[in-house]
Amino acid sequence: MSIGQEVSQAPPNRWFQLIVGVICMVMIANLQYGWNLFVNPIEEKYQWGRPAIQLAFSLFVLTETWLIPIEGWFVDKFGPKIVVMFGGVLVAIAWALNSIATTLPMLYFAAVVSGIGAGCVYGTCVGNALKWFGDKRGLAAGLTAAGFGAGAAATTVPIIYWIDAYGYQSAFLWFGLGQGLIILALSNFLKAPEPGQAPTPTRKRLGQSARDFTPREVIKTPLFWVLYAMFVMMASGGLMATAQLASIATDFGIARTEVAIFGIVATTLVMANIVDNIMNGLARPFFGWISDKIGRERTMCIAFSGGALSMFGLIMFGQEPILFVLLFGCIYFTWGEIYSLFPATCTDTFGAKYAATNAGLLYTAKGTAALLVPLANVLMAEAGWNTVFWVAAIMDVIAALMAIFVLKPMRRAHYLAWSGR
């Protein structure tokens, strides 16, 4: 073999692939985590009602999640570049449509386009990380998902300023175009590993499968549906928080109350958005890394229990501005990790070959959970926000118990059955 051939067959740097994926995820973060900043301005202009406006958020999440298995199939078959490129175009178009939406149907249509674009980017980047990092799957999925979770933190203040100075329509247009163009440019660098280029997972403790299960096989296993149910329970409370943060702060009467953290002074809403997005992002690689060390189920139990405690704290102390910021930060920190733990667990269990499709199938649970977001407004109107928090906390506790007493023994039996033991 010549030197030229050796160079041409050198594998791409997998850390570079990870970094490109993270940046692409940052560029779609505002589609979900910046949405709450637009709800009240839209309501003030058109007075459609919050539940009607929040239906757009649910449609975004539904299309972002439920179509990922199809997008994942394209990724597994044709590679990540073309799918992410397509997603970048849709992201730009979607927010441009939001900027001129004067009716609810148009707002809903833009949400669908936005969801498809975000799903193309999200599912591809997470799936690519899972394939490249079989030896550090929790950390890699966590870092990639962190781009989505924390990416909006850097633009929270600029978007709020832009909305106040130029209107929410202008913010939709220019931030949307910028985000889409960056994704389009970066998509050219993404590449899936060829056979033998990525490390082979060998960790018995994590139950990493030696067999690659097809998507059709995966959905026939009870284990998949246990994961799915847990994902729905955990995602429901978190989506309620991310979509309703501004509304909750406004209803508590503290949105514009100034707070100071580490010498930085800002309104409660601005500070909460910054802190929450940072905590959301940190949670994903942190708990992913922890799960690589102590196991997925133990990490789930710890994180989910922490989420329940944070919800209880919000019930008792949430109307104090500084505690509102800190407790919401804890909620984000103990919720964001589901986007590293569940895809890592899914790929450990069912193999890496069809990782983008299989993890995408599981990710549709987020879409199912999104159906409950408008119901949170209905429940709040009937019984108040504390009741909503109670429901979310109870679901967190159930999921934490299921991780140890249901998921762990099922995964062990699955591993033994397919390892020949």
* Whole-number Å distance between alpha carbons of 323 and 311: 12
- Residue 101 gets the label, from left (phi > 0), alpha (psi -120 to 50) or beta, of beta
One digit per residue, pLDDT tens: the chain, 421 residues?
A: 333 433 334 456 889 999 999 999 999 988 887 887 898 899 999 999 888 888 898 889 889 888 888 888 888 888 899 999 999 999 999 999 999 999 999 999 999 999 999 999 998 998 899 888 878 888 998 899 888 877 777 777 788 889 989 999 999 999 999 999 999 999 999 998 887 777 766 566 566 777 889 999 999 999 999 999 999 999 988 887 777 788 889 889 998 899 988 888 889 988 988 888 788 888 889 999 999 889 999 999 999 999 999 999 999 998 999 999 999 999 999 988 998 899 999 998 998 888 888 988 998 998 888 777 777 777 877 888 888 899 999 999 999 999 999 999 999 998 888 765 4
**0.85 cut: is pTM over it?**
no
Are the C-beta atoms of 305 and 397 separated by less than 8 Å?
A: yes
Number of separate helices (H) and strands (E) present in the chain:
20, 2
Residues 6 or more apart whose CB falls under 8 angstroms from that of 114 comprise 31, 60, 63, 64, 90, 91, 94, 95, 98
Are the C-beta atoms of 309 and 340 separated by less than 8 Å?
A: no
Question: 3-state class of 200 per DSSP?
Answer: coil
CATH of 11-193+202-418, one of 3.80.10.10, 1.20.1250.20, 3.30.710.10, 3.20.20.150: 1.20.1250.20
* Whole-number Å distance between alpha carbons of 158 and 222: 46
Indicate the domain borders of the chain: 11-193+202-418
Instruction: State the number of CA atoms in the 13 A half-sphere of 391 facing the CB.
Output: 19
Q: List C-alpha distances in Å: 293 to 153, 198, 287, 346.
A: 28, 20, 10, 17
Are the C-beta atoms of 272 and 249 separated by less than 8 Å?
A: yes
